Amino acid sequence: MRFVGRTIVLFLPLMPKFFVRWISKRYVAGESLSDAIKVMESMKADNTCFTVDVLGEEINSISEASYFISEYNNLLDSIVENNLDANISIKPTALGLLIDENKAQENLSNLLKKADLSNIFVRLDMEDTRVTQPTIDLIYEMHKRGYKNVGTVLQARLFRTPEDITNICTKLGPNADFRICKGIYLEPNDVAFTDYQDIVDATNFSIDSMLKKGAYVAIASHDTPVINHSLDSIAKIQMGAGKKDPRENSGSKRNGKGNGYEFQFLLGVRGDERRKLSSDGHLTRVYLPYGSRWYEYSMRRLRENPEIAMHVAKAFFLPWTNRR
């Protein structure tokens, strides 16, 4: 099955757009906000919550940020109006981080203020290494301005991540809030691990470090070794389903959050594992993207992560084993 997945990636450039659209339906909620709302409503029975991403990233002019600002404002309104258990994910470059840092800060600050009024958490997605430090600095600035309802993503494959964890936890203390993932961006081997086992080991190390330092940890991985390691680590420090966070260095529980941790999955990936974790009492969250840039998102996900292509192949050939 892994071979089939890699074959899909190999032939991606030859695939007609309609076929990529067919594939993307599993992993993208749709092109519009109403599509995203419908998917979330349909998944309520799964006892999961969501983090919603408006597709699109680096912009070419600061004026292009207005689209994302408007869309995220409408998304925040819809989450409240439909009483959805959801927060939002934002790519900083979509707000102009690489064009005008001050304007990007202003754009994000306004969104955080609106989200905070409804107790909605905001996650800053982590993009490629050009913006790793600027994104972390943006988190610092927002916390300095009094917005505690924002956290970032760290990519475990980067060599710098252990130091970033220490620095962020030192600076933000109990307000440190991470999503930790292996990392979707394929970085060169002088800044990141490239071997699968090294990346898994780095991810597990990062999770343990975050837990030890009292941070909130959103474990974003579909890998069984990472999930199993996380469950073991959580149990060792007497955290877990139905238990209060016992860590003396952790913060108070946030609205819509778990007791110090949660598990996150991409929409359409390992739904059965997500439902199992949920039935065992763990908070699970689905990363739910939508928007007109579905084609670019789908191509990048499939091209840069053959594992996702493997899930595509499994859904195609063995649909009964891989429910959304």
Active site residues: 125, 179
Query: Distance (Å, rounded) from C-alpha 232 to C-alpha 235?
Result: 5
Contact 293, 55 (CB under 8 A): yes
E strand map for 55-104? 86-90
Residue spans of alpha helices (H) in 82-212:
101-117, 132-144, 161-172, 196-212
Query: Distance (Å, rounded) from C-alpha 170 to C-alpha 173?
Result: 5
Q: Which amino acid is at 95?
A: L
DSSP secondary structure of 3-26: HHHHHHHHTGGGS-HHHHHHHHTT
Bridge partner residues of 282 (DSSP): none
Query: Distance (Å, rounded) from C-alpha 4 to C-alpha 184?
Result: 20
C-alpha pair distances (Å), 140 with each of 160, 297, 320: 17, 28, 45
Residues contacting residue 237 through CB under 8 Å, at least 6 positions apart = 211, 212, 246, 247
Bridge partner residues of 181 (DSSP): 155
- Rounded to 5, what percent of the chain is helix, strand, coil? 50, 15, 35
Residues contacting residue 231 through CB under 8 Å, at least 6 positions apart = none
